[in-house]
């Protein structure tokens, strides 16, 4: 399952949310676990991809 990173625009705390692709496509209402506010913004995160082919 993908991990989505968010930051609260009120308390400025960063947090992660684990959602399946279908849950994310349903556009759930994400709230900050620290202050409960729903004014959050999704952050771009890094990822790692491993292939069988050597470069």
pTM over 0.85: no
Q: What is the pLDDT of residue 55?
A: 61
Could you state, in order of their start, the residue ranges of all structural domains in the chain? 1-29
Strand extents, DSSP E, the chain:
3-8, 14-18, 40-43
Q: Give 10-53 pLDDT, tens digit per residue.
A: 999 999 999 998 998 999 999 999 999 999 999 987 777 778 87
DSSP string spanning the chain?
A: --EEEEEETTT--EEEEE--HHHHHT------TTT----EEEE--------SS--
């Amino acid at each position: 399952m993908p991990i989505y990173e968010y930051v609260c625009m009120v308390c400025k705390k960063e947090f992660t949310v684990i959602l399946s692709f279908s849950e994310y496509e349903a556009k759930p209402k994400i709230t900050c676990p620290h202050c409960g506010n729903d004014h959050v913004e999704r952050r771009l995160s890094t990822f790692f991809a491993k292939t069988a082919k050597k470069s």
